[in-house]
Structure 1
Amino acid sequence: MASIRQRHTFIVHSQFRDTADTLNLSKQKLTLNDVPGTRQDRLIVTTDHLKERGILQAVDNIRIEIVSRENFAHIAPFNRQLAWGTHINVVPTEIFNWNGFCKWIQSSVNSEITCIGQESFIEVPYGYYLHSPHTDSSQLLSYIENNYSDAEQEIVAEMEEANTASYISLSLNKNSTDKKTAGRLIAEAYWYYGRWTKTVKAGGPDHRVEVGLLGKIADDPQGELTYGGILAVIGENEQFVPTLFDFSPRHRSVYQPAVFYPDFRQPYGLHPKHLTTVLGDISPPRKKISVLDVAGENDDIDVSEATTSCGLYGYYVLPNFIFVDKYQVSDLADAQAGGIKRVVGIWGETDLEIPVWMVEKWGSTMLVELIPPEQPLLPGIMQQLDIEIPMHSRYEVPRWNTTVVKHDMPWPTLFWACNGSAESDMTTSPFDSNGLGHEYLFDPGTMFYYLHPNQTISNPVNKTHLVTNLNIPVVPLETYKYVQPWTVIVILLGCIWIFYKAFLGFRRDGGIRNAPGVKPDKDKLEKKGPKTE
């Protein structure tokens, strides 16, 4: 097996036509001209080809993902959804150096990421996780390009082109059950749409370059996807090879029309309420069965049957300026209120008191199971689900000339998690994605069906970013010269008033002789004698 494997996958749209004007294949190269569709590039290399392997040798599993802030479609079979930003998941070995790892992150991933050691990460069930709002992937791509010891021009060009992708990832899993990827460094880039004009050249003797142009043939919502198209190994094939294959994807989008949009209830204050509204057919994923299966009669009409063992979940990424009170959210779940059925887990910084400048960790994450609406008798009925979660903002550093601090919060990820069918083997998918992340919190055989975010409803001005804006109140610094002295004056006046009232009461009650707990002087009482008229 080649130590370098490079794959270009194009999911072509219906208007694509395979003609000599659009595709030109020779033994040493393939030229594409204005090919419309979704694209994924994948590069797999052995660590022997890397100049720097120190950090990678000290991890069992690592996955770095950079997701664009822009809303982009997740075209099958690339349906996995993540909040925008940089996601760093790591399972370290016993000899792991956290300080060195943070330096590597800032030098190789993004210098703007705040990382000072293990305390910057949150501990999750599978390892450690760090999220950053930065979405610039140029530094990570430069690391891949410069760290590749046989830096062929084709690899360099691919890394430069990937800077425009909507999604970038770099991963290494030494314990993977897939022999093709175990212990190998995998770089991936995803573009949800484009019209592609490019030339793909053959690699060296130990470098396999594959190109596939595929289209979806059939789709069983609970079972397999079927794709067909043409493949070519550049440097081996002079003609395209037709292909037809099926597989069970781990990640899908829901088939019924259901969208969601989040926002904070106003006024925000220091304790904002986060509301996510889901609209549409909020029913579990369904599989199509013919009436023949139901009544034993031959009929062409199809009906739908809900899949079993499905739960609706919400996964929240909460930066350090905001947090949830786990006891408060658990009380909502106990009362089956706010659309919350169960709190699966809250990981990260949940201290209720510390201000934002004392928070060491990047923030926290939360996974909750939601209460779906009562299922209608027939599919396609429009429904609404409101998920309201109380949150709390941290005290911010005082600022000049403003009374609020503006923050951007990622949208939550909403999905159905369903038990996979017994006969499905998702590991056989050439596009399988089962790395570190929210999917690791479920059983390995779980299938994920993602709801569609609808940014047009929640933010008609900014339709391209899945961003929830939050304004947190803050003390303006220019008022300090008035606030501080007046605060001292008010405190002093309050103390004087308290002492004055205490002194008056002291005198009225006869001073210390009649104070509570003081015994009267019997000799003086006897000498005083009875009172006479």
Structure 2
Amino acid sequence: MRERITFIQKLGDSLEPSSLKINGGVISGPEVKAVREDRVTLALEELPTELQSLLKGVHELHIRWISPEPYESVSPLLARLPPGFHLFFTPGKGDHTASNKLCSTLSEIFGHVNCSTPAESFTSLPSDRFSHSTAFQYYQPLETLSGFVQYAKHQLCSGSDSSCTARADTLAKASSLDISYDTISHALKVTTLWPYQRQPIHATSRPWSRTEVGVLSADKPATLDAHELGISGLLTVLGQDSKPSVTMFTFASRHRDAESAFSTKILEPVGLHPTLQIQLESNKPPATDAYCSPHAYFTLPKGIFADKYQLGDDLFLASKNLTALRYISQPVDLEAPEYVMKGWGSAVLLQLTPPKSDKAQPWTAEIPLHLRYLEPNRGGYETIEVPYPAVFWACTAEEGTKFPNNPFERVNLGYDGLFGPRTVFWHVEPRPLGGGQLQNAIRVPVLDLDKSAWVNIGTAVAVLVGFAWVAWRLAAVYLSSGYGNEAAAPVTEAGKEKKRQ
């Protein structure tokens, strides 16, 4: 087991080495304003038996949970996703056991996960674009990590380890949780991020693990290349170092800060075809020496969807400040009600069209959406939460630029596999107007079960009355036409002669 605890401050902040106290396997220091990232790396044999058996049949598994609460981050921890529970998965070859057990195991770990099997609930990711994408994707709204906290306390912590239990409780205030496994490393990485806020420096090592603690801040050395980020600060290996070591290093990064914000809202009137408006602070590209275009990446639960045919009309897109629909997961049934769908929903990547201007200015883009018929309930209304999208500028790096993995790299985000390997993502921070969560609530009318009996009776009466009216009108036409009298009249000799002619 290896553990890395990192406090990352903003550019210009720093900490004197003398302010850190190291006593054996414990480090402590003053309260600082920083982002905290904890990463634990576990070998396969260190995991519970049920997890070992599951992961042995998996080629790749990446879980990304994002809090619906707004949070501020700092460079280089800038990669974002829509709030909720995201899963990216590639099964092992020839072994379907892991696939069939995956959803039930996820429910045990995170609480109620709504999938049944990957074949029914997951959507396929495109394999014809870039090789760094997984095979399948799953998403569902999940507001808290309460299920995972309980699993960690009872399954991953021993009863006598109070420090482990206390650390598990801190997950309730985390902004994001990443869990990744692949067959190449045969190791499970669990990364937790807490937002930029004041927090004390304190960490304790374990006898059977290697614990590294860093108190770092963003830096801009003179030798920094355009595609690189700089970090400097103090590093300490607990139980090994008696004092912190000063360090500074640079690395290439695909995720950067656009230094702007956005918010979203549902336009009135809502109806069954709501429009989501994205309000952006600036139309100015973050990089002037590269081609850049703004994008919005959505993960829409199955109760709401985007129509790819509507988003294929260039004139319609231009009227909404949209350039093109770059990706939508398939299939998306345009008619099915929500309660008969087995898939999780749909992922959508839209390229936006900023207004052309010499000066930076705020602007908006509008995305038309469509609600499905929801399951009847008592009360006649249901609420759908539409999560904020991830908004970013995708810019091209110079020819020959490479982005190898860095210590803070975050990959398998869904949208990164839809771009080339030289794409740099400049992230726009979601910042709801007036506070609130990173989701928009829509109140949807549904069939009220308390009143449905009258609907059934009324429908039956309407059908009977309609049938009686149609039968009466047919009988009236039949009788008024005289066909009945003509049929009963005898045929005369003149008539017979006329027929023979």
User: If the length of structure 2 is used for normalisation, what is the TM-score?
Assistant: 0.87
Q: Which amino acid aligns with 1:387?
A: E
User: Which of 359, 364, 368 is residue 346 of structure 2 equivalent to?
Assistant: 364
Mapped pair 1:41 → 2:41:
no
Question: Aligned letter for 1:226?
Answer: G
1:201 aligns with 2:204: yes
**Inter-partner Cα distance in structure 2 for 1:32 and 1:490:** 77
CA distance in 1, matches of 2:230, 2:251: 7
- 1:297-376 mapped onto 2 (5 Å cutoff): 306-332=288-314, 336-348=318-330, 350-374=332-356, 376=357
Distance in 2 (CA, whole Å) between partners of 1:190 and 1:116 is: 29
State the AA in 1 paired with 2:477.
G
> Which residue of structure 1 lines up, in the alignment, with residue 473 of structure 2?
501
Q: Which residue among 411, 422, 426 is the counterpart of 2:388?
A: 411
**What displacement does 1:151 show?**
9.9
Q: Does 1:386 align with 2:365?
A: yes
Could you say which residue in structure 2 is the equivalent of 1:216?
218
Between the aligned partners of 1:29 and 1:184, the Cα distance in structure 2 is: 26
C-alpha contact 1:49 1:149 (8 A) present in aligned 2: no
Contact residue 16 and residue 35 of structure 1 kept, 8 A = no
Distance 2:22 2:108 in 1: 40
Alignment CA distance shift 1:282-1:523 (3 Å): farther
Q: Which residue of 1 aligns with 2:130?
A: none
Q: Which residue of 2 aligns with 1:179?
A: none
Secondary structure of the residue aligned to 2:220 is strand
Residue matched to 2:268: 266
Q: CA offset at residue 507 of structure 1?
A: 3.2
Within the alignment, does 1:24 sit opposite 2:58 as a pair? no
Deviates more, 1:500-509 or 1:49-58: 500-509
Aligned pair in 2 of structure 1 residues 75, 525: CA closer, same or farther (>3 Å)?
Answer: farther
Partner Cα distance (1:471, 1:332) in 2:
31
Residue 313 of structure 2: SS of its match in structure 1?
helix
Shift of 1:337: 4.2
Q: Tell me the residue number matched to 1:183.
A: 186
Confirm whether residue 452 of structure 1 aligns to residue 429 of structure 2: yes
1:364-421 Cα distance to aligned partner (Å, 9 max, x none) = 11112222322x33xx4214132232x221112222233x211211011111112233
Q: Output aligned runs, 1:426-465, within 5 Å.
A: 426-456=403-433, 460=434, 463-465=435-437
Unaligned runs of 5+ in 2: 127-133
What's 2:181 paired with? 172
- Describe the superposition over 1:250-309 as per-residue Cα deviations: whole angstroms up to 9, x where unpaired: 212213x4x32222222222222222233x3213222xxxxxxxxxxxxxxxxxxx2323
Q: Match of 1:55, SS?
A: helix
* 1:142 Cα offset (Å): 5.2
CA contact (8 A) 2:277 2:364 kept: no
**SS of equivalent to 2:177:** strand
- Note if contact 2:275-2:366 (Cα within 8 Å) is conserved in structure 1: no
Q: Give the corresponding residue for 2:449.
A: 477
In 2, Cα distance between equivalents of 1:433 and 1:73: 17
Asked whether 1:233 is paired with 2:233, we answer no
**In structure 2, do the counterparts of structure 1 residues 88 and 522 end up closer, same or farther at CA, with 3 Å as the change threshold?**
farther
Partner of 1:518: none
Q: Distance in 1 between matches of 2:403 and 2:493?
A: 98
Q: Which amino acid aligns with 1:36?
A: K
1:396 aligns with 2:374: yes
- Structure 1 vs Structure 2 CA RMSD: 3.0
Amino acid at match of 1:505: V
Distance change (3 Å), C-alpha of 1:419 and 1:88: same
Aligned to 1:294: none
Cα offset, 1:101, TM superposition:
1.2
Q: Which residue is 2:460 aligned to?
A: 488
Q: 1:465: how far off? A: 0.6
Structure 2 residue corresponding to 1:132, chosen from 137, 140, 145: 140
Q: Residues 340 and 368 of structure 1 are in contact (CA less than 8 Å); yes or no, is this contact kept in structure 2?
A: yes
**Distance across 1 between alignment mates of 2:229 and 2:374:** 49
Q: Which residue of 2 aligns with 1:75?
A: 74
Q: Which residue of 2 aligns with 1:163?
A: 172
Structure 2 residue aligned with 1:244: 248
Q: Deviations over 1:313-369 (max 9, x none)?
A: 111111111112222222357864433322222115521222221111121111122
Distance 2:459 2:289 in 1: 63
Confirm or deny: 8 A CA contact 1:173 1:184 kept in the other structure. yes
State the AA in 1 paired with 2:449.
L
Between the two proteins, the alignment pairs up a number of residues equal to 480
SS of residue in 2 equivalent to 1:254: strand
Identity %: 25
C-alpha contact 2:82 2:390 (8 A) present in aligned 1: yes
Amino acid at match of 2:23: S
The answer to whether the Cα contact below 8 Å between 1:214 and 1:228 also exists between their aligned partners in 2 is yes
1:522–1:320: structure 2 CA closer, same or farther, 3 Å change rule?
Answer: farther
Q: Quote the offset at 1:446 in angstroms.
A: 1.7
Tell me the distance in 2 between the aligned counterparts of 1:475 and 1:428.
52
- Native 8 Å contact 1:332 1:338 kept in 2: no
Report the Cα offset of residue 30 of structure 1. 0.8
CA distance, structure 2, for counterparts of residue 44 and residue 75 of structure 1:
23
Please, what TM-score do these two structures have when normalized by structure 1? Answer: 0.82
SS in 2 for 1:427: coil
Structure 1: distance between partners of 2:398 and 2:169: 41
Q: Structure 2: how far apart are the matches of 1:151 and 1:523?
A: 116
For the Cα contact (< 8 Å) 2:284–2:360, is it kept in 1? Answer: no
For residue 129 of structure 2, what is the aligned residue in structure 1? none
Q: 2:9 aligns with which of 12, 20, 33?
A: 12
Gaps of 5+ in 1: 176-181, 287-305, 516-520
Contact 2:297 2:415 (8 Å CA) reproduced: yes
Greater relative contact order (CA < 8 Å, ≥ 6 in sequence): 2
Aligned mates of 1:51, 1:493 — CA distance in 2 = 66
